[in-house]
Amino acid sequence: MRSANSRHKIVIVTPVFNDWAAFGLLLKQLGQQPALANYEMRVLAVDDGSPEQPDVAKLAQLKGTIKDFRVVQLACNLGHQRAIAVGLVEVAKLKDLDAVVVMDADGEDRIEDVGRLIGAWSEDPDRIVFARRERRSESFAFKIFYAFYKLAFLVLTGEHISFGNFAILPRRVVQALIYNPAIWNNLAVSITRSRFRYTTLTTDRGPRLAQKSRMNFIDLFLHGVSAMSVYIDVVLARVLVAACALAVIVLVLLAVVIAIKFGTTLAIPGWASYLTASLTLLFVQAILLAGFALFQLLNLRSLKLFVPALDAATFVVGGNVDRQP
């Protein structure tokens, strides 16, 4: 049981790909935050295969009140979500830990909101707290794409998603999540599907600390697809049901066409043959789609899954977190 005078021990996990200037500013500002001085803070940067190597000694001079920081080096670029998963696996090895804050290193996850997240989590230490952006400053085109993505996500999965990875996770949640294969693709969606208790804290998007965003449309598209992949079995099941429903509707329409053709005088020369051919083609496509969804769904049940807790260490080539007794 925690003593009255002990401080919460928090580790911040942030993936970095070449944004070392931004990470240095992040580390410096974290170390200057009065709201964080009441906690024992550490920072773990996951170097996601950056061609530009960090000056660790120089960064160490910027940490201020941060107890320490580590850089975990990955063998190759895995992408934002997978770098986070590796970071969670590494911090889960720490014995002396209360919670983990996941955030980006570019400043768009505001540094002042870290203290707010920890404060909200302290009120209920078994609950996850997500930062949910109330105002967004992206371009009109991005907002249109994001709205379409949220609609597609809702239609295909039946779930809403309104937040990203900026969150604080209790230690026990981290220890469970690292055995969940889904975090290899998307952390936030994996948590919502895992049915952990969580709440949201309204925040705004902060300005980038350095450089410009390297995110492009393809990256955003792949990020959206990765989020949907967490619900791939649900998506396939919905596609299967929709394809079967379409096949039934087509059969009913075919029956109506045949009934009109041979049972009434409403027939127009050639229309029945055209509709029958079109509906037959649509029926075949629906059956093929249903068969594809069914076999993909069955195939998922026999695949060997990637478990981060067991397999992520394959990609770590240096800078491991210290294992404390």
Query: Residue 98's domain is classified under what CATH number?
Result: 3.90.550.60
User: What is the predicted pLDDT for the residue at 215?
Assistant: 63
User: What is the predicted pLDDT for the residue at 187?
Assistant: 93
pLDDT per residue over 272-308, tens digit each? 788 888 899 999 999 999 999 999 988 888 888 899 9
Look at residue 248 and tell me whether its pLDDT is greater than 90.
yes
Look at residue 135 and tell me whether its pLDDT is greater than 70.
no
Look at residue 7 and tell me whether its pLDDT is greater than 90.
no
Q: How many domains does the chain have?
A: 2
Same domain, yes or no, for 128 and 268?
A: no
What's CA 161's distance to the chain center, in Å? 10
Residues 220, 189: Cα–Cα separation, whole Å:
15
Same domain, yes or no, for 262 and 150?
A: no
Same domain, yes or no, for 76 and 146?
A: yes
User: What is the predicted pLDDT for the residue at 147?
Assistant: 81
User: What is the predicted pLDDT for the residue at 11?
Assistant: 96
Same domain, yes or no, for 15 and 69?
A: yes
Q: What is the DSSP letter of 139?
A: -
Angstrom CA distances, 114 to 13, 59, 168, 218, stand at 12, 20, 8, 29
Place of tokens 């990955």: 74
Query: Does residue 2 lie within any of the structural domains?
Result: no
pLDDT band at residue 139 under the 50/70/90 scheme: low
Residues 195, 109: Cα–Cα separation, whole Å:
24
Look at residue 208 and tell me whether its pLDDT is greater than 80.
no
Same domain, yes or no, for 157 and 284?
A: no
Same domain, yes or no, for 293 and 149?
A: no
User: What is the predicted pLDDT for the residue at 325?
Assistant: 35
Same domain, yes or no, for 64 and 180?
A: yes
For 32, the domain range is: 9-215+308-318
Residues 100, 300: Cα–Cα separation, whole Å:
31
Same domain, yes or no, for 257 and 141?
A: no
Same domain, yes or no, for 258 and 116?
A: no
User: What is the predicted pLDDT for the residue at 268?
Assistant: 64
Query: Does residue 43 lie within any of the structural domains?
Result: yes
First to last CA, the chain: 18
User: What is the predicted pLDDT for the residue at 4?
Assistant: 44
pLDDT band at residue 82 under the 50/70/90 scheme: very high
Residues 76, 188: Cα–Cα separation, whole Å:
23
Query: Does residue 85 lie within any of the structural domains?
Result: yes
Query: Does residue 99 lie within any of the structural domains?
Result: yes
Average pLDDT over residues 234-251: 94
Same domain, yes or no, for 61 and 154?
A: yes
Same domain, yes or no, for 196 and 238?
A: no
Q: What is the DSSP letter of 315?
A: G
DSSP 3-state helix, strand, coil percentages of the chain (rounded to 5)?
50, 15, 35
User: How many Cβ atoms from other residues are within 10 Å of residue 80's Cβ?
Assistant: 22
Lowest mean pLDDT of 87-91, 176-180, 211-215, 237-241, name the range. Answer: 211-215
User: What is the predicted pLDDT for the residue at 137?
Assistant: 58
Look at residue 271 and tell me whether its pLDDT is greater than 90.
no
Helix (H, G, I), strand (E, B) or coil at 198: strand
Query: Does residue 265 lie within any of the structural domains?
Result: yes
Quickly list H helices, 32-139: 56-60, 80-91, 112-122
Question: Which helix or strand (DSSP H or E) is residue 238 part of?
Answer: helix 232-263
Instruction: Find the radius of gyration of the CA atoms of the chain.
Output: 25
pLDDT per residue over 150-163, tens digit each? 888 888 888 887 78
User: What is the predicted pLDDT for the residue at 324?
Assistant: 44
Average pLDDT across the chain, whole number: 86
Query: Does residue 56 lie within any of the structural domains?
Result: yes
Same domain, yes or no, for 166 and 257?
A: no
Average pLDDT over residues 197-208: 86
* Percentage of the chain modeled with pLDDT above 90: 47
Query: Does residue 276 lie within any of the structural domains?
Result: yes
User: What is the predicted pLDDT for the residue at 164?
Assistant: 85
Query: Does residue 313 lie within any of the structural domains?
Result: yes
